[in-house]
Amino acid sequence: MDLILDQWRRERPDLDASPMAVLGRLARTAKAVESTLQMTFARHGLDGGSFDVLATLLRSGEPHELSPLELTQAAMVTSSATAQRLNKLVERGLVSRKKDHIDLRSTRVQLTAEGKKVIEGALPDHLRTQEALLQGLDAGEQAQFIGLLQRVELNTHGFEAGQS
């Protein structure tokens, strides 16, 4: 990043490229974190999307069951992405689909016993990986980091609505 900033200072000294230092590092870090987490998920035969669905169902509490819409909202992905994830998980026997007993046009997705076993095995490993990624940051620094990231995330909302 320092080389990139030096190059911009040389080529366009009239522009302040300093935001690139923050956002460039954020992007690189996010990519590295995602790659590290994917390795953890792979040890359990999962990918990030599958882990997310199974974890969402587990943390929803008994009977570990949600609608596809609830899963889509929890994962902040498209309904198409959720459907693809669910198809893979149903195929593997980690979740099941059943008719909603109240609205027979709707379905519910439920964690199977095998799915519960897989996610309960993967979760401690996932948390250890996250802890290792944050080693060197004490609780106060982590809280400060969370606050800073929340502020940057809030700034993105205008862009999502088509504003700039």
- Nearest C-alpha neighbor of 129 from the set 44, 27, 60: 44
Residue 109 and residue 94 in contact, taking contact as beta carbons nearer than 8 Å: no
Residue 95 and residue 118 in contact, taking contact as beta carbons nearer than 8 Å: no
Q: What is the dihedral of CA 104, 107, 111, 113, to 10 degrees?
A: 50
Q: Quickly name the fold that domain 46-125 has.
A: Arc Repressor Mutant, subunit A (1.10.10)
Domain boundaries, the chain: 1-42, 46-125
d(CA 64, CA 85): 17
Q: What single letter denotes the amino acid at residue 2?
A: D
The pTM for the full model equals: 0.83
Report the range of poorest mean pLDDT among 96-100, 109-113, 143-147.
96-100
Q: For residue range 50-99, what is the model confidence (pLDDT) as tens digits?
A: 999 999 999 999 999 999 989 998 887 888 989 999 999 999 999 999 88
User: What pLDDT does 12 receive?
Assistant: 96
